[in-house]
A and B are shown apart, each in its own frame.
Chain A
Amino acid sequence: MNNFAKILRIEGFTGNRVKYYSVWVEGRESNEFEDFISRHIGLSVIEEQLNYLIRVLEKFSNEGARKHYFREERAFHALPPKARYLEFDLGREQIRLYCLYVSDNIVFLFNGGIKTKDKAQDCKNVKAFFKEAEKFTQIIDDMIKDKQIVLNKNFTEILNYEEIELWLT
């Protein structure tokens, strides 16, 4: 992973109840969420599930996010992971998008992939994305607690996201 990343707003959803953000790692062609969409949009095997995922994000943008939709990864280690994921479980190939739920109105969308094994840690498609998402999540979480990332008083937006640099090493 390169040294630093920036935070950016994700527009493109119709509602305004959720501010979506992602991260753009230095040297990469696009932000993490855009990379996730562009890699999967043409795959017919998960087309239906990707449609469902975007519909869920669209509904959140109009109604607010709900924490129970963001599932926890079974821990790779002793501490519970902070990164969560959205995934439509239809019993076949499942596409998993890693996220950070900050509040009903602030959600970070990272990256993900098609899970081909029962456990994410055994799946080469998602394991690396989970580890990165966990790294982003821990850094962002610490910066929110330290008030380096400033939220407004209602926890509905990040006030200084354009100034933030996430140091990844």
Chain B
Amino acid sequence: MADLNDMLKQIRERTTPDQERFVDENMAIVDYIHQLLNEKKMKPIDLARKLEKTPAEISKWLSGTHNLTLQSITKIEAALNEDIIMTPVQAKSKYESIKYVTLKVFGNVNSQDTSLKESNSYEDFKWSIESCSQGIRSLKSAS
């Protein structure tokens, strides 16, 4: 008789990629729902009330080993007013943003001094304390 390690290896090897994805996605969704409930200080029974389902049914939904339908997931999304699943396109549209921040940089650069114009070294610029303070204030207001 094969030993336990061999049997577990056999089961892992026969598990198809779609079966792996099913478990992984199901677990990710359920874990996220539990996270949302914690953040909203709700218990599963509160969700059951909102969905007008029995506590036993919601407990089954949230067990992580129940085949949640898209319809059930969207009901939960509506009840919690949160996105639980989204496509990469939806996520990009919602979360990707580029912010432009303008910084004023102050320095004592004498534009008549041609040696400085040609210089690439920061050490050639002389900063006054006042200039640095103005720069810091600009930085804070821009962020």
B134 at the binding interface (Cβ < 8 Å)? no
Question: Which A residues are CB-close (under 8 A) to B31?
Answer: 66
Which of A7-15, A141-149, A150-158 interfaces with chain B?
A: A7-15
Q: Which of B15-39 contact A (CB under 8 A)?
A: 15-16, 19-20, 22-24, 27, 30-31, 34
Selected A-B contacts with CB under 8 Å, 22 pairs: A10-B4, A11-B5, A12-B8, A34-B4, A37-B8, A38-B4, A41-B10, A48-B19, A50-B11, A52-B23, A54-B8, A55-B24, A56-B27, A56-B65, A66-B31, A66-B64, A68-B34, A68-B62, A68-B63, A86-B65, A88-B67, A89-B65
For A85-110 the 0/1 string (1 means CB < 8 A from B) is 01111110000000000000000000
| Interface residues in chain B, defined as those with a beta carbon under 8 Å from any beta carbon in chain A | 1-5, 7-12, 14-16, 19-20, 22-24, 27, 30-31, 34, 59-60, 62-67
Binding site secondary structure of chain B: helix
Interchain CB contact under 8 A, B15 and A51: yes
Interchain CB contact under 8 A, B59 and A55: no
Question: Which B residues are CB-close (under 8 A) to A47?
Answer: 14
Interchain CB contact under 8 A, B30 and A68: yes
Question: Which B residues are CB-close (under 8 A) to A90?
Answer: 67
Most chain B Cβ neighbours within 10 Å, of A12, A48, A50? A12
Interchain CB contact under 8 A, A52 and B10: no
Known: A59-B23, A66-B34. 20 other contacts (CB 8 A): A37-B7, A38-B2, A38-B7, A41-B7, A41-B10, A47-B14, A51-B16, A52-B65, A54-B11, A54-B15, A55-B23, A58-B12, A59-B24, A66-B31, A66-B64, A68-B62, A71-B60, A71-B63, A89-B67, A90-B67
A52 nearest in chain B by CB position: B23
Docked Cα-Cα span, A87 to B11, in Å, equals: 16
Chain B proximity of A48: nearest CB distance (Å): 7
